[in-house]
Amino acid sequence: AGPWASRPLRWVKGRVVTTYCPANNEPIASVRQASLEDYEETVKKAKEAWKVWADIPAPKRGEIVRQIGDALRQKIKALGSLVSLEMGKIFVEGVGEVQEYVDVCDYAVGLSRMIGGPILPSESKYVYVLVGSRPGHALIEQWNPVGLVGIITAFNFPVAVYGWNSAVAMICGNACLWKGAPTTSLISVAVTKIIAKVLEDNRVPGAVCSLVCGGADVGTAMARDERMDLLSFTGSTKVGKQVALMVQERFGRSLLELGGNNAIIVFEDADLNLVIPSALFAAVGTAGQRCTTARRLFLHESIHDEVVAKLSKAYAQVRIGDPWDSDTLYGPLHTKEAVKMFLDAVEQAKQQGGSVVYGGKVISRPGNYVEPTIVTGLPHNAPIVHTETFAPILYVLKFKEEEEVFAWNNEVKQGLSSSIFTKDLGRIFRWLGPKGSDCGIVNVNIPTSGAEIGGAFGGEKHTGGGRESGSDSWKLYMRRSTCTINYSKNLPLAQGIKFQ
């Protein structure tokens, strides 16, 4: 890598942002944010670093990504604690989030030896000679890295979402420029320092994985910057729409992971021993701040009252406390603003005919703690039911027939994750079919959260249509060329066209 080997990671200096601990609202640290001038310099260095990275064979890139995964493994508890401290999710979830990054690194290592395009049959093999053909030609697909991938991530998964993008983007041959949420800047810095050391130990420029701490001004600059060959954005549907328009205006490529208004449907034949813990974890995990959080619970009318009673009893057993305490199951919301959003949503639910059967209040203790909440009695099309509130509020709704509840699942604007609980094999396949769920993640007898890295993660409609992590999502980080090679001494044209 030549002169890059002795070029250390450089941390730019701009305005200062204070990050706070959600468990007590005490300041943790002051983190310098990048200015637009800093951003400009960082993009230039990242583009230069890409020239080095793109020349490294894919299996060697995979080996470096494997080392990044190992470096994260060695710091997994420390990073998990930092996630609890700065984001607010409980310790086991913080560690689990770092583990996701480690796992996707392992996945990407194998992928680095598999990516590539097919050799396609040329017309010479299928078109009758008298009609016309192209003997002596080969038709192949070539996949190349797009170049520089901009990655904008949200506060709720400050490690894993970057990992999903960066590990796969890197083995594809791309450089990455990351802008994390300003409220989780310490996590972004810590992760980047770990990655930078691995890169530089391999005599690769640290700028291959660049970081720009910043706010909306930096995000807007990334969306409008033609040097961003792909922009991956994770966040709200409202902001994602603005990002999509800015990227599309310059005919750029975007990968959008936006909101979710996810539903669990429980039929009369469901195993309630699976339903209760699934609904509980899906609704209150990460204090309701997952994009895959269950926000709607549809219960068949014959089991509605029984499930509500059992679920309320389970909610009462949830251990609430400091997120870094290993006994805690439920921690705080991320910010004071999130607490206000929670209270507003509860009030709207009441005004629209709902009854709070559990929770609904702020917990009297330091920090951003609210009670996990269950609301019943609302119609399926109530405005608040169709609103994604990033808080632990579960709307419980009755249904009678399969056809109507499938339609209710699909009637919201988002289309991320969905689940049914049933033993009916025919119903399961109808749920998976064209008239079933319209979501990107469609589950049976498991909750809406907890996606595996081997499957493509993402959703439809206002969720943005993007896919990250597994399956063939690697193709989004590459550009495809259809290549025809003439190895003959003649020039036959396609479709048998001849010029006499």
CB-neighbour burial class of residue 412 (10 A; exposed 0-12, middle 13-18, buried 19+): buried
Residues 245, 97 within the same domain: yes
In angstroms and rounded to an integer, the radius of gyration of the C-alpha atoms of the chain is: 25
In a domain, 492, yes or no: no
- Residue 406 is part of a domain; what is its CATH number? 3.40.309.10
**Whether residue 271 sits in one domain with residue 230:** no
Same domain, 347 and 471: no
Parent domain of 374? 262-453
Q: Are residues 135 and 182 in the same domain?
A: yes
Decide if pLDDT at 328 tops 70.
Answer: yes
pLDDT tens-place string over residues 75-109: 999 999 999 999 999 999 999 999 999 999 999 99
Residue 493 falls within a domain, yes or no?
no
The sign of the CA dihedral 341, 30, 228, 164 is negative
Q: Which of 396, 405, 399, 408 minimizes the C-alpha distance to 372? A: 396
The pLDDT value recorded for residue 450 is 84
Neighbours of 222 (CB within 10 A): 25
356-401 pLDDT tens trace? 999 999 999 999 999 999 999 999 999 999 999 999 999 999 999 9
pLDDT of residue 6 exceeding 60, the answer is no
Q: Is the domain of 131 the same as that of 149?
A: yes
**pTM score of the predicted model:** 0.94
Q: How many domains does the chain have?
A: 2
**Strand, helix or coil for residue 289:** coil
Dihedral angle sign, alpha carbons of residues 264, 256, 64, 211:
negative
Which pLDDT does position 423 carry in this prediction? Answer: 98
What is the per-residue pLDDT for 5?
38
Residue 488 inside a domain? The answer is no
Confidence at residue 4, expressed as pLDDT on a 0 to 100 scale: 37
Q: What is the mean pLDDT of residues 114-129?
A: 62
d(CA 427, CA 425): 5
Model pLDDT, residue 131: 35
Q: Do both 66 and 204 map to the same domain?
A: yes
pLDDT of residue 496: 66
Tell me, yes or no, whether 252 and 279 share the same domain: no
Helix 58-74, helix 91-111: angle, nearest 10? 160
In a shared domain, residues 238 and 282: no
Which one is catalytic: 123, 200, 257, 371? 257
Same-domain status, 139 and 288: no
Q: What is the CATH number of the domain that holds 252?
A: 3.40.605.10
**CA distances in angstroms from 362 to 88, 129, 333, 338, 444, listed in the order given:** 16, 79, 11, 11, 34
Give the number of other CB atoms < 10 A from CB of residue 317.
8
Any domain includes 216: yes
500 inside domain? no
What pLDDT, on a 0 to 100 scale, did the predictor assign at position 1? Answer: 31
Predicted local distance difference test score (pLDDT) of residue 137: 84
Same domain? For 195 and 273 the reply is no
Report yes or no on 489 lying in a domain: no
Q: Where are the alpha helices (DSSP H) in 215-265?
A: 216-224, 237-249
Q: How far apart are CA 97 and CA 136, in angstroms?
A: 52
Return mean pLDDT, the chain: 93
225 and 266 both lie in a single domain? no
Residue 257 annotated to the active site: yes
**Residue 497 domain-assigned?**
no
Q: Say whether pLDDT at 128 is over 70.
A: no
> Does residue 499 form part of some domain?
no
**212 and 276 share a domain?**
no
At residue 133 the predicted structure's pLDDT band, cuts being 50, 70 and 90, is: very low
Q: What percentage of residues in the chain have a pLDDT greater than 90?
A: 87
Show the tokens assigned to 373.
């909440």
